[in-house]
Amino acid sequence: MRVVMFYHSLVSDWNHGNAHFLRGVASELLARGVEVAVYEPHDAWSVSSLLAEQGSGPVDAFHRAYPSLRSERYDPATLDLDAALDGADLVLVHEWNSHSLVARIGLHRRDHDYRLLFHDTHHRAVSDEDAMAAYDLRYYDGVLAFGDVIRHMYEARGWAAQAWTWHEAADTRVFHPIDGIERAHDLVWIGNWGDDERTAELHEFLVDPARDLALEGTVHGVRYPADALAALGETGLRFAGWLPNFAVPRVFAAHRFTVHVPRGPYVRSLPGIPTIRPFEALACGIPLISAPWDDVEGLFRPGIDFLVAANGAGMRRHMRDLLHDPGMAAELAVRGRERLLSRHTCSHRVDELLRIHASLAPAAPRSIHA
């Protein structure tokens, strides 16, 4: 079986969380003997930003961490789809690709018999409907949506022939507990500050509790404005900048707990979609406290697998509990990891993907339009 994947970037996760899941899925497919080809644009902004900020070292480190993973960097003006898709059985096209490339691959599919799926892992379906409606998916076999609410939008609006929910998950080859590291620090937060999508929430659930409880710990991420750095400077948290995803497990192992603060669009419009960070935290066996999000799909057991803080006061209370009750913290971490391993690994997602592929029996290419 040959799977071809068109994504923004495999080699860079600088402000690019989709790389985490892509790496995990590609690794799992390769482990099962599937031939995998990943294509990323030669001018991917995540790679450019990473190189500008960090130099070439992180790209070299990626290849050491994932020796089996490779990608082809292409120029859209010269991309030969006949060569790229030769022998393909399944093609995945991520929604960060340009409208023109998405349409071009669809037209190629019209005249070939591989299965073609569009992969949506963002909130643009609700925050920028016009942009998503403009994708030409006529010749796609369907859409992989990272939550039921996104899947329902594709179905209700007739954007695709059919759609499946395909949540992100943890790559447990990389994300697992690390023995031999002392939990010498209190709190770790790994995430990007971003574009005011959760500024108020980050103050309420991260910065203010850390300051008020005099917590010591670490913050990793990019796109932190001066006022955010100033606010962190009033806490005992050290800002340590960008961290590659494959280095996260060791950082988790050195801290007593972490927090999840969902972005505003996810809380308001995308219930049931937690993003990939909680999956990875639970896989690493670190106690997790989450700001409110509505787990309408029953992915986890809030209050059992992780703690939920309804507000800043609740976050302070949970933080105190985890700091002063190591037994409670250890039990929470065990339950969360057990739930993760039972349902939410990249192995589970590849099982789901292969079942979807098998359900798409070879047939004449079809359009979703009459």
Classify residue 296 by its DSSP letter: T
pLDDT at 268: 78
Question: Does residue 366 lie within any of the structural domains?
Answer: no
Question: Does residue 150 lie within any of the structural domains?
Answer: yes
Residues 339 and 351 in one domain: no
Of 334, 330, 344, 326, the closest CA to residue 305 belongs to: 334
Question: Does residue 92 lie within any of the structural domains?
Answer: yes
Using pLDDT thresholds of 50, 70 and 90, give the confidence band for residue 128: confident
Residues 155 and 247 in one domain: no
Question: Does residue 85 lie within any of the structural domains?
Answer: yes
Residues 296 and 307 in one domain: yes
Residues 12 and 94 in one domain: yes
CA distances from 229 to 205, 224, 235, 239, 356 (A): 16, 6, 10, 8, 45
CA distances from 254 to 37, 186, 205, 261, 297 (A): 36, 9, 21, 20, 32
Domain total in the chain: 2
Residues 153 and 67 in one domain: yes
Question: Does residue 370 lie within any of the structural domains?
Answer: no
Residues 274 and 325 in one domain: yes
Q: Is the pLDDT of residue 368 over 80?
A: no
Q: What is the pLDDT of residues 133-184, one digit of tens each?
A: 999 999 999 999 999 999 999 999 999 999 999 999 999 999 999 999 999 9
CATH number at residue 192: 3.40.50.2000
Distance from C-alpha of 221 to C-alpha of 211, rounded to nearest angstrom: 19
pLDDT at 353: 98
Q: What is the pLDDT of residues 95-125, one digit of tens each?
A: 999 999 999 999 999 999 999 999 999 888 8
Residues 89-96, mean pLDDT to the nearest whole number: 97
Residues 231 and 99 in one domain: no
Q: What is the pLDDT of residues 7-34, one digit of tens each?
A: 999 999 999 999 999 999 999 999 999 9
Residues 91 and 154 in one domain: yes
Q: What is the pLDDT of residues 49-75, one digit of tens each?
A: 999 999 999 999 999 999 999 999 999
Range of the domain at 79: 2-169+346-359
